């Protein structure tokens, strides 16, 4: 694991040149997209856990689709449709390779990780869960997981149990070994917490679940973009992640599912593309993964996601992970120098690529607004983890999150903005 004393393994300046938005200067009130009244400060983009920026290679791949072979897939024998179909199917193959899946049959394209959670909850949970069954989550779950399984449990009579978070931000594994029992049917957990930065022991949790015959759903929204991940090594049954957090486009996410499990599940959405045959009495479904991809799919976005996988693999996710953890450790150390700043989650040398924090007596929204005055873009709110914030005793928190193009100097700019906020509210 990287430490903040290490130099970056990446040529960050060369990488930044591939992201034109990072060249922007911002400031003042936004009057229309791309415009401000006082554009005089260099942008410091530290909101990557929400959405990463997009390199030229990804944008160009999508432009090439629209300019050269824009057509619907699987529905035409003309040349453009065939080209689009091949590109769309190859995107499934590329994503399967990226996460170590067996093949395209295990890769379902959805809008985002939230839809992937809902697909499994409705297509599997409604038919398989009932009174006496249990779904085990964690206290650090994103609402995409927590709310979805909470509502499915209400409809089926199943119980939801939440694994506790320790005072220092780790998952309580003693509680996990106690809670994951013979009544457990699903264990769903966030791999890297988007609020605490905690890196949960995915393979160990999967082992605990499989020992009692439960399935495992991993929310990889914050892990797949930032570190090497192999679904076979984790042995998860399902994995969800989104393109827009990994240098890809918005509007596309991925559900990985073991082929044998997906085969047994009924579709979540019905309509065109996902059917094999239809008459007035009944219908049969297309083969995997198409039976879960009703309607016209996100074709251009799939092309862009393919390019994003290529882009990240060319850089090397091990190096991306080391760089980001170096920045997170450095930010943790700098912010904890202030005795009136609370940083949430594990120590700086044992966290993912983000730092959640609060300044005493200052609401996170006000702190984020002051950072914006310095052209430092961070997140503020409960980060779709409202119950976790209730547990922490915080109405909201500020969050700085890092990616492959961020620098130590940008962390310094964040710390300077926070220090000025301290003085302003003193």
Q: Which two tokens stand for residue 322?
A: 């080391």
Q: Is 384 a catalytic residue?
A: yes
* Contact between residue 231 and residue 101 where contact means Cβ atoms under 8 Å apart: yes
Residue in the block written with tokens 């922007």:
24
**CA 86 from centroid of its chain's CA atoms:** 27
Q: Which of 353, 51, 344 is nearest to 223 (CA)?
A: 353
274 CB-near residues (< 8 Å, 6+ apart): 267, 285, 286, 290, 291, 292, 293, 294
Q: Which two tokens stand for residue 304?
A: 């862009």
> Other C-beta atoms within 10 Å of 361: how many?
10
Angle between helix 299-315 and helix 317-335 axes, rounded to 10 deg? 80
127 CB-near residues (< 8 Å, 6+ apart): 266
List 236, 247, 371, 384, catalytic entry: 384
At 62, which helix (H) or strand (E)? Answer: helix 56-68
Active site residues: 384
């Amino acid at each position: 694991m990287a430490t903040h004393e290490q130099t970056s393994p990446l040529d960050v300046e060369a990488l930044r040149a591939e992201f034109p938005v990072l060249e922007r200067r911002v400031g003042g009130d936004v009057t229309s997209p791309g415009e401000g009244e006082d554009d005089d400060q260099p942008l410091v983009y530290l909101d990557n856990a929400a959405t990463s920026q997009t390199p030229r290679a990804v944008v160009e791949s999508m432009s090439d689709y629209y300019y050269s072979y824009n057509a619907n897939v699987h529905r035409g024998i003309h040349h453009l449709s065939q080209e689009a179909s091949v590109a769309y199917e190859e995107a499934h193959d590329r994503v399967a390779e990226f996460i170590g899946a067996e093949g395209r049959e295990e890769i379902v394209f959805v809008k985002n990780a939230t839809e992937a959670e809902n697909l499994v909850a409705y297509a599997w949970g409604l038919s398989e869960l009932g009174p006496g069954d249990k779904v085990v989550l964690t206290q650090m779950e994103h609402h995409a997981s927590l709310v979805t399984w909470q509502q499915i449990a209400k409809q089926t009579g199943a119980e939801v149990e939440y694994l506790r978070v320790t005072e220092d931000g780790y998952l309580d594994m003693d509680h996990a070994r106690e809670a994951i029992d013979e009544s457990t049917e699903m264990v769903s957990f966030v791999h890297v917490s988007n609020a605490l930065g905690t890196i949960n022991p995915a393979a160990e949790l999967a082992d605990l679940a499989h020992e009692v015959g439960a399935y495992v759903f991993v929310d990889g929204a914050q892990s797949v973009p930032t570190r090497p991940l192999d679904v076979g090594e984790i042995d998860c049954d399902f994995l969800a992640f989104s393109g827009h957090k990994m240098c890809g486009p918005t509007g596309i996410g991925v559900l990985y599912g073991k082929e044998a499990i997906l085969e047994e599940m009924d579709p979540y959405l019905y309509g065109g593309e996902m059917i094999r045959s239809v008459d007035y009495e009944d219908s049969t479904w297309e083969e995997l993964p198409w039976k879960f991809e009703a309607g016209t799919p996100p074709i251009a976005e799939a092309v862009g996601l393919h390019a994003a996988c290529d882009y990240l693999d060319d850089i090397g996710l091990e190096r991306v992970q080391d760089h980001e953890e170096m920045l997170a450790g450095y930010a943790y150390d700098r912010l904890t120098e202030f005795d009136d700043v609370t940083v949430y989650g594990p120590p700086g040398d044992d966290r993912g690529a983000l730092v959640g924090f609060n300044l005493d007596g200052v609401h996170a929204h006000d702190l984020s607004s002051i950072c914006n005055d310095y052209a430092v873009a961070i997140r503020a709110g409960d980060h779709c983890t409202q119950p976790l914030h209730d547990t922490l005793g915080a109405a909201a928190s500020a969050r700085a999150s890092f990616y492959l193009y961020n620098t130590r100097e940008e962390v310094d700019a964040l710390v300077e903005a926070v220090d000025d906020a301290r003085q302003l509210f003193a």
